Chain A
Amino acid sequence: MINKGSKVLLEVKNLRAEVAGVEILKGVDLTVRAGEVHAIMGINGSGKSTFSKVLTGHPDYTVTGGSAMFEGKDLFSFAPEERARAGMFLAFQYPVEIPGVSNSALLRLAYNTLQTERGLEELDPLEFDDLIQEKIKVVEMDPSFLGRSVNEGFSGGEKKRNEILQMAVLEPKLAILDETDSGLDIDALRIVAKGVNTLLTSDNAVVMVTHYQRLLNYIVPDYVHVMDAGRIVRTGGKELALELEARGYDWLRAAA
């Protein structure tokens, strides 16, 4: 929900970044306020996934110019784990499998790390179990997934639901969903979207990176941005996504 008076969570100005010496982001500007839902759309290779990884500190990417402030602080002066503790979250496009680490153990470790950061008490396994039993309802996940190794043997849809479960447990201020809709069938998409909608409040914000308009039927954006060749070339409301669905991206690329 747009509220021009609400707090600015993320302010990106003229951001440039490269990977392996190739410049991918060529001057991105974006402002996200609390309560807002943003969608960043674009063709493959436009730089939208790079943008999400640069913001969360993936080591393969180098920032070469511009700035990104998170709640007024220079994001790039923080390590990835510090950004997470400050309230940023990335739902991965390709969630990582971690054999030998149980889902519940990871969630508890991550949760308690944040609790400590916030000056709150850590939860012991029993207390955490009460919390997690509530949280898994958000993504309609079977409790048996908690005892399994992180994402090991999960289907594509289960992995994406697991990402949203992590979001539900960590309650970030800014969640970036990197192609969370890719590889989901319609039922899984509905569950994931419902989960995200449940977690939205007037104090947090979501940035969805997606190729398709489909997800936006379920998580309705306040802003739709189109990225092309490393820049945001157009920003509009949710109707822009429908226009993209009808007309494709070429007309914008030509205009840019």
Chain B
Amino acid sequence: MIMTSKPWTKEQCYEQLLLGKTVKSESWLSPIRDKAGARAQALNFPTAKQDDWRFTDLSPLFQHGFHPVESFAKLTLGDIASLLIPGSIRLVFVDGCYASQLSDLEQAGAGVTVASLVEHSGDAQVEANFAQHALFDQDTFAALNTHFFEDGAFVHVTGETATPIHILNIATKRDTSSAIYPRCLVVMAANSRATVIEDYAGLNDGINFSNAVTEVVLNDDAQLQHVCVQREDKSAFHIGHCSVDAARGSVYTSTALAFGARVSRHDLHVTLRGEGAQATLNGLALIGGRQIADTHTRIDHATPRCKSIQLHKCIADGSAHAIFSGKIMVREGASGTDSAQSSRNLLLSGKAHIDTQPQLEIFNDDVSCKHGATIGQIDADALFFLKSRGLTEERARNLLTHAFAAEIIDMIPVPSLVESLGRTILERMNGNSAGGVSK
């Protein structure tokens, strides 16, 4: 099918999304889907008048019609070889559909359930937690996802596992652009420990729209290392929302990376619900060309003596636009809160643009909340030093940019992923600098 060259309007784009495929569900799930569908009908795309969206230009998204995925794309392990993490428990979704033949669950030992959400929709943990944390009442994208999602990942950890759990979401190129609704539910039982890698990647440069929703529940004293890698195709669109609920004494560590997509958005909402819970949020957006990458985080200190540490970095080249908005909320009863937020940003070109917005809402006097933001360019002295050691301008700039990014990447507790992401960064940077020349 050949699409008309005339761009779609915002209204047409939204209507087309609402024409998505109806998915049958378990008895308990059907009413939730229906309710989400009704909300999606009532809502619309957010506008720049909404405070949470005022920096984010979604207009490139509206120019396309996104169609439901009607057939299953057959891929082989060879097609996705570069994306695999050796030795991991692997759950693969292709265009939002579960791909059992690409998945490898052999490493999942006792105390670890990694499975298709639909196949486990009878599980009490699924029923108890699904759509309870990522609320769709006022959120267009969460409503669309909850109504239309085909399948998703269900991770339930009751013990401890050192084997990383890799949830790989792949978007393929089709004749028409696809609307894809990845879904993920992670439930960490009391005292459990695990590492979960949520990974979004594209094959063959398709213009798809991935609208992902993830819910993470940490019960008392659970510990989760949560890595989110967004490396979609450069013409794709990615809107992701993750809600985390952290109970007493639990430790949540997130490393969220945004490399891909024409326009991407990552919303991460962490509620420190139980006393003494801790959250560490590390983030990196590395973009160039005409990319837009928006990260909105919210850490809600709801109870006493919780701790949060956040470091977010944006690197923008070409005429890219990176956005970081980080909200820290301290509730009235949350005495003894300890919070530190740092936003550090690197502009690689005169046309690139970075907005950073720390937001603190504090309703308790007994708190320590630090925050800081910097925006800079490549350090001229460091650049001269490297050139004086024989490195070309390009090599020196790449090395310094890579070093700036590495501080975040290196925090990922999976060495093989750190290594492959290091290569991804270099490829992206080289691609970006080539893109910069063409302008």
Which residues of B are found within 8 Å of A166, using beta-carbon distances? 389
Whether the pair B393, A81 counts as a contact (CB closer than 8 A) is: yes
Chain B, residues 160-187, CB within 8 Å of chain A (1/0): the string is 0000000000000000000000000000
Which residues of B are found within 8 Å of A21, using beta-carbon distances? none
Q: A81 and B387 in contact (CB under 8 A), knowing A59-B380, A96-B382, A109-B395?
A: yes
Q: Give the number of chain B interface residues (Cβ < 8 Å).
A: 25
Stretch at the interface among A84-92, A128-136, A193-201, A239-247: A84-92
Stretch at the interface among B28-36, B208-216, B324-332, B399-407: B399-407
Which residues of A are found within 8 Å of B405, using beta-carbon distances? 100
Which residues of B are found within 8 Å of A100, using beta-carbon distances? 402-407, 410
The distance in angstroms between the C-alpha atoms of A96 and B379, with both chains bound, is: 10
Which residues of A are found within 8 Å of B379, using beta-carbon distances? 96
The distance in angstroms between the C-alpha atoms of A201 and B403, with both chains bound, is: 36
Whether the pair A81, B391 counts as a contact (CB closer than 8 A) is: yes
Chain B nearest Cβ from A51, distance in angstroms: 15
Assess whether A58 is interfacial by the CB under 8 Å rule. Answer: yes
Whether the pair B381, A110 counts as a contact (CB closer than 8 A) is: no
Assess whether A256 is interfacial by the CB under 8 Å rule. Answer: no
Chain A, residues 146-181, CB within 8 Å of chain B (1/0): the string is 000100000000000000001000100000000000
Whether the pair B381, A170 counts as a contact (CB closer than 8 A) is: no
Assess whether B82 is interfacial by the CB under 8 Å rule. Answer: no
Whether the pair B390, A99 counts as a contact (CB closer than 8 A) is: no
Which residues of A are found within 8 Å of B396, using beta-carbon distances? 81
Which residues of B are found within 8 Å of A138, using beta-carbon distances? none
Which of B385, B391, B393 is the one whose CB lies under 8 Å from A92? B385
Whether the pair A80, B388 counts as a contact (CB closer than 8 A) is: yes
* A-B residue pair count with CB separations less than 8 angstroms: 71
Assess whether B363 is interfacial by the CB under 8 Å rule. Answer: no
Q: A106 and B404 in contact (CB under 8 A), knowing A58-B384, A59-B384?
A: no
Assess whether A19 is interfacial by the CB under 8 Å rule. Answer: no
Whether the pair B390, A98 counts as a contact (CB closer than 8 A) is: no
Assess whether B392 is interfacial by the CB under 8 Å rule. Answer: yes
Whether the pair B385, A170 counts as a contact (CB closer than 8 A) is: no
Whether the pair B407, A99 counts as a contact (CB closer than 8 A) is: yes
Assess whether A113 is interfacial by the CB under 8 Å rule. Answer: yes
Q: List 26 A-B contacts (CB under 8 A).
A: A57-B384, A59-B384, A79-B387, A80-B388, A81-B387, A81-B388, A81-B390, A81-B393, A81-B396, A83-B388, A84-B388, A85-B390, A89-B388, A96-B381, A98-B382, A98-B385, A100-B402, A100-B407, A101-B399, A106-B386, A109-B391, A109-B395, A110-B389, A117-B390, A149-B403, A166-B389
With contacts A92-B385, A117-B390 known, what are 7 further pairs, Cβ within 8 A? A81-B392, A81-B396, A90-B388, A100-B402, A100-B410, A101-B403, A113-B395
Give me the interface of B with A, judged by CB distance under 8 Å: 379-382, 384-393, 395-396, 399-400, 402-407, 410
Q: Which 8 A-B pairs have CB atoms at the shortest separation, nearest pair first?
A: A100-B403, A84-B390, A110-B389, A80-B387, A96-B385, A113-B390, A100-B406, A81-B387
